[in-house]
Structure 1
Amino acid sequence: MGCLESKDCLILGIDCSTRYTAVGYAKGDRVIGEMALDIGRYQSSLLPGLVEKLLSFVGFTLTDIDAVATTIGPGYFTGVRVGLSYAMTLAFGLEVPVIPILSLKALACDFLFVKNVVVIPVIWARGHEYYASAFESNGNDFIEIIEPKVIEEKELHSMINGISKRRSEQIFVIGDDVVRFRAKPEGACLVPNSTRGSNVAKLGFRFRSEAKCPSEIRALYLREPYS
């Protein structure tokens, strides 16, 4: 794990928890490449090629990877399973650790260095339900103020309204799935943002102390798959 202390360590970031398949690379906290594609049911077959193609484009090979950072959920059930399975398999083969990243935190990462905001990332669960959490950003880090949960849209709007009334910070509700809302929540700005693979990689470096053996990584689904 000593190599992860170097700001030149190469971290692969993977996120398949939403509609997009996102991969990215960072050397320490510096982005060196990323891509995100809507490839639907072809995730499992195309993900390895995307990882290697982007790696080749930025001038590295698989053996240069020092760690794999991957979102563990919650999110789209099949996507979480595909991304996590590939990340673990790749890490086993390369004999490198896996750094588990909460998908909702990765989705909110673009607001990490924005001061005095509350960020509420949301990912569609099913029907009118969403995975959601809430973070306060102090300009350097996230402070979790509401832990990840499955919540019905009406309750989600009530939660957002309650935060708006209790706090003075600007509130951003982010995620591609905000377009599914039947009504706009009061007191918040909607940002149809997707997760960036480079953000997963950068969070991997930030939380490198949480790196684990691939066999120790577990998904966070929050609910049983819809049947």
Structure 2
Amino acid sequence: MSEFLLSVDCSSGWTSLGLAEDGEGVGELNLRTGRRQSELLPVMVDFFLNTRSLKVSDVSFYSVAVGPGSFTGIKVGIVFTQFLAWAEGKKVIPLSSLEILALDTACSGGMILPLLWAGGGKIYASLYRNKEGENVLEESFHEGAYTPEEISGMIESWKGENIIQWVTDAPEKIKGLFGQRVPSTLRHGLSRGISAAKLAWSKRGEA
């Protein structure tokens, strides 16, 4: 009998759902919901599961993005996911929003720098090493809210070892803070539901 994992990410202006079946990503729903997350999340989950002829009781594991990101969105996602899991006696796997974003970029060997807008002149960031040929990330710099200068120092310490791929959900804001230090390869990315589901499946032992 198949095991299903449902991922929930409300850490930005997007609400992202992902579904994994026995470790394979089989579906996702990514919708820009803005401040309507608490209103739309239950409807989205019901619709999403129905597209696979599934019910909440069919889900074996849940995962939820616990930040960094929008405080309100994160709270909505955590409370809703924990309620579903509690009602069915299932476990919840916490995920980093930055790691989800990095995993969606991990297509070749090298370093990945996911960046999320934090406001106040700071950026949520971390640095991950992507093992070439493997869908595995290793955190090389602890995630947190940093100034552009601190992030530049982080990059400098790894310069020359690996190619560093920048990815962010707010490219124009990042360019405004970093100016000419932003590489031409800066990628505009989103934390996709299917990436979260696959990441959570690999972390089932942490639930």
Note if contact 1:170-1:188 (Cα within 8 Å) is conserved in structure 2. Answer: no
Deviates more, 1:130-139 or 1:26-35: 26-35
Runs of at least 5 residues in structure 1 that lack an aligned partner in the other structure: 1-5, 212-227
> Normalization by structure 1: what TM-score?
0.83
Note if contact 1:172-1:188 (Cα within 8 Å) is conserved in structure 2. Answer: no
Matches of 1:208 and 1:81, distance apart in 2:
22
2:191 maps to amino acid: T
Note if contact 2:19-2:27 (Cα within 8 Å) is conserved in structure 1. Answer: yes
Q: 1:173 aligned to 2:144?
A: no
Matches of 1:82 and 1:188, distance apart in 2:
35
Corresponding position of 1:123: 116
Q: 1:62 aligned to 2:48?
A: no
1:157 alignment partner, one of 119, 141, 152 = 152
Corresponding position of 1:132: 125
Note if contact 1:111-1:137 (Cα within 8 Å) is conserved in structure 2. Answer: no
Q: Return the offset for 1:112.
A: 3.7
Matches of 2:52 and 2:166, distance apart in 1:
33
Matches of 1:131 and 1:54, distance apart in 2:
30
Q: Return the offset for 1:156.
A: 2.3
The change in CA–CA distance for 1:208 and 1:180 in structure 2 (over 3 A counts) is same
2:192 alignment partner, one of 196, 212, 225 = 196
Q: Return the offset for 1:187.
A: 5.2
Corresponding position of 1:225: none
Matches of 1:179 and 1:35, distance apart in 2:
25
Matches of 1:50 and 1:184, distance apart in 2:
40
Q: 1:209 aligned to 2:205?
A: yes
Corresponding position of 2:93: 99
1:207 maps to amino acid: K
Q: Return the offset for 1:9.
A: 1.2
Deviation digits for residues 157-208 of structure 1, max 9, x if unmatched? Answer: 3433x0453x332211112123212124355731110001111111111010
Runs of at least 5 residues in structure 2 that lack an aligned partner in the other structure: none
1:24 maps to amino acid: G
The change in CA–CA distance for 1:76 and 1:204 in structure 2 (over 3 A counts) is same
Note if contact 2:106-2:112 (Cα within 8 Å) is conserved in structure 1. Answer: no
Aligned residues: 202
Runs of 4+ in structure 1 deviating by more than 3 angstroms, as ranges, are none
Matches of 2:182 and 2:154, distance apart in 1:
10
2:190 maps to amino acid: S
> Normalization by structure 2: what TM-score?
0.91
Deviation digits for residues 34-57 of structure 1, max 9, x if unmatched? Answer: 111111111011101101101101
Q: Return the offset for 1:113.
A: 4.8
Identity of aligned residues (%): 30
Matches of 1:199 and 1:113, distance apart in 2:
12
Note if contact 1:122-1:178 (Cα within 8 Å) is conserved in structure 2. Answer: no
Note if contact 2:62-2:81 (Cα within 8 Å) is conserved in structure 1. Answer: yes
Secondary structure, counterpart of 1:157 in structure 2:
helix
